Amino acid sequence: MPSDLTSQFLVQIISTKDNIRSKNLNSKLAEMGLGFAISPGVVPNEMDFQAGLMHSASISKLLCQRNMSLGEVGCAIAHKNAMTNFLNSDHKFGIIFEDDAEIIEDFDFDVVIKLLDSNVPKTIALGWIPGFAIAKDPMDPLSEEPIELITSPTCAFAYAINRSAARLMVDSQEKIIDVADWPIYTLNKVKFYSIHPNSPWVTANHDPKFSIIGVRSTPIRSNTRSVLVSRIRLVRSVFTLLLLSITNQINASPKQIIHRLLVRDLLYRYGTSQVSVDTTGNNVIPLPSKFRRLLDLLKLT
């Protein structure tokens, strides 16, 4: 293990509470020889939120297919603030935790440094929820090497990041337009990795009662009509966003829009179909050939 970890890594814990909610984050970081700083969480003012001073309600609704909550906007701002802190420091690499993260494996910092020491924007997911992430390329099941992912894993509760990736995220938008769990302007620009095919280093408690964000509003489509309406809305959103992209009214490319609204959802549904609802394990799933052909056709790989 490198002896100068603290000089190389700025470790931050995003927390809106006086006490960190994690049971072991403080102690495990100390065991690994890492100091950390608290990056204050953000609880937006309700009036500012309703007035759209911090986020674009119209664009975020097109991207998320629902209204973003006040907690989601605050979370996105908090992650952006933590990345700004990292860029304003002298550290080469950053590690960002939400304060409900729990470390379950010791970190191999040699692997992290080797991967992040690049001018290419890179982010390493130290854990992922739900229990899957999807690999970009065919996998060697016996390999212990980090795996590049085809898209960002859901839930940005623990990740390592280099300066190029942080700069891209901080500079991409003035207002929040997407959730913190890897917004649209990272897609096809930031390389995402999982640290291991089936053994993440970090987990988190995402019980809505425990989470600052709480329950995310996802409508339940119970009949054919509601499914049809949602698909029509999705198609309209795609074309609206493509028009905004072509006319430079949104800082996202057509490829990123297709990836965010269509591809990522397809991959998420495929992933959930491969993971038992009762499992507590975490796995990286190979990309199916049918999706690879689709991505090649759309030039998204």
By CB atoms closer than 10 A (0-12, 13-18, 19+), residue 170 is: middle
pLDDT tens string for the chain (301 positions)? 445 888 899 999 999 876 788 889 999 999 998 999 999 999 899 999 999 999 999 999 999 999 999 999 999 999 999 999 999 999 999 999 999 999 998 899 999 999 999 999 999 999 887 778 888 888 776 777 888 998 877 788 999 999 999 999 999 878 999 998 888 989 889 999 988 767 789 988 765 555 555 555 555 555 777 878 889 999 999 999 999 999 999 989 999 999 999 888 888 888 888 876 555 567 788 888 878 887 777 776 6
* Residue from 281, 80, 300, 25 nearest 189 by CA: 300
CATH assignment, 5-205+220-297: 3.90.550
- pLDDT on residue 1: 43
Q: State the helix-helix crossing angle for 289-297 and 264-274, rounded to 10 degrees.
A: 180
* 203 contact partners, CB below 8 Å, separation of at least 6: 101, 102, 104, 127, 129, 282
What pLDDT shows up at residue 2?
A: 46
Q: Which pLDDT does position 270 carry in this prediction?
A: 87
Q: How many Cβ atoms sit within 10 Å of the Cβ of residue 42?
A: 19
Q: What is the pTM of this model?
A: 0.89
Q: Quick one: pLDDT at residue 143?
A: 76
The residue count for the chain: 301
What are the boundaries of each domain within the chain?
5-205+220-297
What tokens appear for 69 in the block?
A: 């909550």
